[in-house]
């Protein structure tokens, strides 16, 4: 019985993906011998690749001579790491106490309707990933919403369409 040795094109990484892995390899090389640098490497890898699928976590673990379980443990513990593909922009509605009592939940409901996606999801057009945050440190500005790294204060559901149209 002979085996088919031909690879399938769907299993071979694209040149763009290979370039990203090469960039991540350079980051790993720069930090692999520095204790406590795993989080820094993961942040850089996520910025380069967009998210941290298990194959990339394995690549990082191998490159840093760490067990995969340690890398996965860090990725799964911190909410700012993602193991699934994300949108171009990240929306985070604050649901800390001040934001919640001042209308944060209404923002969540309005965004779920407007974006046609639940919390934790990414819109069909890959424009937005929608998340909640327990507190973003803007209690005096409640209810607050972050788009990427920009905080918007006293956001009302009626303001959402105009706000999102900027993105």
Q: Mind listing the pLDDT tens digit for each residue in 49-77?
A: 989 999 999 999 999 999 999 999 999 99
As for how many domains the chain has, the answer is 2
Backbone φ and ψ of 157, nearest 5°: -50, -35
Q: What is the pLDDT of residues 3-34, one digit of tens each?
A: 443 444 455 668 889 999 999 999 999 999 89
Calpha distance 55→126 (Å, rounded): 22
Tell me, yes or no, whether 6 lies in a domain. no
Residue where a domain terminates, one of 48, 77, 106: 77
Residue where a domain terminates, one of 53, 77, 101: 77
Calpha distance 147→164 (Å, rounded): 9
Calpha distance 65→71 (Å, rounded): 10
Looking at residue 146, its pLDDT comes to 96
Calpha distance 64→30 (Å, rounded): 10
State whether 156 and 117 are in the same domain.
yes
Q: What is the DSSP letter of 122?
A: B
We report the CATH number of the domain holding residue 93 as 3.40.30.10
Per-chain mean pLDDT for the chain:
91
Q: What is the pLDDT of residues 92-134, one digit of tens each?
A: 999 999 999 999 999 999 999 999 999 989 999 999 999 999 9
Looking at residue 80, its pLDDT comes to 80
Range of the domain at 69: 15-77
State whether 65 and 98 are in the same domain.
no
State whether 73 and 113 are in the same domain.
no
State whether 100 and 51 are in the same domain.
no
Tell me, yes or no, whether 82 lies in a domain. no
64 closest CA partner among 79, 74, 50, 51: 74
Looking at residue 79, its pLDDT comes to 76
Is residue 135 over pLDDT 50?
yes
State whether 72 and 100 are in the same domain.
no
Q: What percent of the chain has pLDDT over 70?
A: 92
- Using alpha carbons only, what angle is made at residue 101 by residues 96 and 105, rounded to the nearest 5 degrees? 75
Using 50, 70 and 90 to split pLDDT, how confident is the model at 162? very high
Query: Crossing angle, helix 54-63 and helix 68-77, to 10 degrees?
Result: 130
Looking at residue 12, its pLDDT comes to 65
State whether 70 and 101 are in the same domain.
no
State whether 73 and 94 are in the same domain.
no
Tell me, yes or no, whether 4 lies in a domain. no
State whether 96 and 159 are in the same domain.
yes
Residue where a domain terminates, one of 28, 43, 77: 77
């Amino acid at each position: 019985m002979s085996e088919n040795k031909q690879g399938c094109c769907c299993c071979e990484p694209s040149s763009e993906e290979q370039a990203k892995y090469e960039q991540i390899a350079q980051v790993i090389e720069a930090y692999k011998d520095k204790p406590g640098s795993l989080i820094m490497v993961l942040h850089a890898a996520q910025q380069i690749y967009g998210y941290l699928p298990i194959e990339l976590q394995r690549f990082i673990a191998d490159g840093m001579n760490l067990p995969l379980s340690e890398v996965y443990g860090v990725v799964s513990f911190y909410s700012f790491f993602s193991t699934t593909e994300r949108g171009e922009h990240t929306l985070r509605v604050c649901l800390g106490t001040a934001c919640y009592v001042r209308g944060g939940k209404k923002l969540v409901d309005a965004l779920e309707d407007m974006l046609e996606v639940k919390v934790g999801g990414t819109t069909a057009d890959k424009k937005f990933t929608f998340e909640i945050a327990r507190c973003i440190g803007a209690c005096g500005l409640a209810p607050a919403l972050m788009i990427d790294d920009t905080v918007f204060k006293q956001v009302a559901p009626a303001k959402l369409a105009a706000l999102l149209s900027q993105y």
